[in-house]
Chains A and B, each alone.
Chain A
Amino acid sequence: MADKISVRIDGEYVAAQQGQTILEVARAGGKFIPTLCWLENLSPVGGCRLCIVEVSGVGRLLPACTTPAQDGMSVTTNSEKLTQYRRMALEFLFSERNHQCAVCVSNNHCELQSMAQRLGVTNVRYPYSFPKMRVDASHERYVLDHNRCILCTRCVRVCAEVEGARVWDVSGRGIHSLIVSDMNRPWGDSKTCTSCGKCVEVCPTGALAEKGFGVEEMVKRDRKVRRLAGRRGGHV
């Protein structure tokens, strides 16, 4: 049996098990910690920086989804400072690519959009970079629009960990990072893609969508994918 530990979350003592992350412990205790790149039963990467929390005695903010809870740890999940940094992280995501919500297939069904609403982000304080991004529509059923991508890598992980096809990967570094299929070949030419559509269902924005849908029409259903992901043993 896993070792029991005790963690303080926002001042309350919570019982947890060794190996659980701060996010898992806090969520089990009914706390809300915003997340975007995290998806239940996929391995966490701590990329979006929305789930940052304060840990007593640690000088910097830590992502809750990748930080293991430790016995005696004292965690703050919500504060003025955290709200400020979470908003900032979200605004950077908006400023980095071209997110025109009004004309997006995922308008009103988008996790980035609803997160902005939830965190009270009504404008982006940083200059937009307006990058020129490609749209890969070479696949017969799906389309990848880099304009809407937030590089959460859910598609990369679901393809590798659940489907086992490993079509997706990230090329480049920093702001030049790009989701690519196979060895940066058009998605439609992919020899490894099984056209299962899991990447589309877990994509939090309109970056991956099914063809034939208009503005506001793309509703993602990731419940089955999350359940499938839960059945595999351990993280890859």
Chain B
Amino acid sequence: MKKVRVATIWLDGCAGCHMSVLDIDEAILNVARRAEMVYGPLVDAHEFPKQVDVTLVEGGVSSQEDLEKIRTVRQRSRLVVSLGDCAVTGNISAMRNQTPTRKLLERIYVEGADVMRVVPSDGVPALLRHAVPVHEFVKVDLHVPGCPPSAKAIAFVLEELFEGRVPDLRSKVKFG
């Protein structure tokens, strides 16, 4: 059987959703049997591959870099899954949205710092005005809310997708 090409990507999130992916216990054996992990923080690939079947997206879209990444992901993936509240709703990453970005950066890097009191600009991507859910920029095929989504829900989603079904998540997932 041809293996399903699965990628994961980490945008503006805390890595908790990736932790939850690793937390699926024995279901990970099935994932190993059915899927090939082609990209993600857990994999040693540098560039997002050309053809991916399923991409799990953790985190909201918060910076110019996130935006470029998610557009590449959408172009190269058959299915895009928003994994976790930050990707689905903005959640914690969106808690900065009430403060203008310039003020926010100054509050943290100037007022909040003891040394090197300067807003970093070299080699860091510019922040977007708001951190927003993934589906505000690209089409998302499936939303799996939760902070993080339970390992059980993730295992269920992966198994259903491997079988070629759309998982029915009613009553299986919740915000928060």
Provided the pairs A98-B95, A101-B175, A118-B171 are in contact, do residues A123 and B90 lie with their beta carbons within 8 angstroms? Answer: no
B146 and chain A: residue at smallest CB distance:
A102
Chain A nearest CB, measured from B109 CB (Å): 22
State A127–B61 Cα separation when bound (angstroms).
13
Quick one: which of B126-147 are within 8 Å of A by CB? 130, 132-133, 135-136, 140, 143-145, 147
What are the 8 tightest A-B residue pairs by CB atom distance, in nearest-first order?
A101-B176, A102-B147, A123-B143, A120-B170, A130-B97, A132-B98, A101-B175, A122-B143
B86 and chain A: residue at smallest CB distance:
A102
B172 and chain A: residue at smallest CB distance:
A117
Instruction: Verify B173–A122 contact, CB threshold 8 A.
Output: yes
State A71–B97 Cα separation when bound (angstroms).
52
Provided the pairs A113-B174, A114-B174, A132-B98 are in contact, do residues A123 and B88 lie with their beta carbons within 8 angstroms? Answer: yes
Quick one: which of A99-131 are within 8 Å of B by CB? 99-104, 107-108, 110, 113-114, 116-118, 120, 122-125, 127-128, 130-131
A129 and chain B: residue at smallest CB distance:
B97
Please classify the interface of chain A as helix (H, G, I), strand (E, B), loop, or mixed, using the class held by over half of its residues.
Answer: loop
Provided the pairs A127-B136, A128-B132, A130-B98 are in contact, do residues A117 and B88 lie with their beta carbons within 8 angstroms? Answer: no
Which residues of chain A have C-beta atoms less than 8 A from B88's C-beta?
Answer: 122-123
Which residues of chain A have C-beta atoms less than 8 A from B91's C-beta?
Answer: 100-102
Instruction: Verify B147–A116 contact, CB threshold 8 A.
Output: no
Which residues of chain A have C-beta atoms less than 8 A from B95's C-beta?
Answer: 98, 100, 103
Chain B nearest CB, measured from A183 CB (Å): 26
Quick one: which of B118-176 are within 8 Å of A by CB? 130, 132-133, 135-136, 140, 143-145, 147, 169-171, 173-176
How many A residues face the partner with a CB closer than 8 A?
27
Chain B nearest CB, measured from A142 CB (Å): 22
Chain A nearest CB, measured from B99 CB (Å): 8
Instruction: Verify B173–A101 contact, CB threshold 8 A.
Output: no
State A133–B98 Cα separation when bound (angstroms).
9
Quick one: which of A114-168 are within 8 Å of B by CB? 114, 116-118, 120, 122-125, 127-128, 130-133
Quick one: which of B23-54 are within 8 Å of A by CB? none
B134 and chain A: residue at smallest CB distance:
A123
State A213–B95 Cα separation when bound (angstroms).
20
Which residues of chain B have C-beta atoms less than 8 A from A124's C-beta?
Answer: 89, 133
A119 and chain B: residue at smallest CB distance:
B170
Residue B82 CB within 8 A of the other chain: yes
Instruction: Verify B90–A122 contact, CB threshold 8 A.
Output: no
State A118–B172 Cα separation when bound (angstroms).
10
Which residues of chain A have C-beta atoms less than 8 A from B79's C-beta?
Answer: none
Which residues of chain B have C-beta atoms less than 8 A from A101's C-beta?
Answer: 85, 91, 147, 174-176
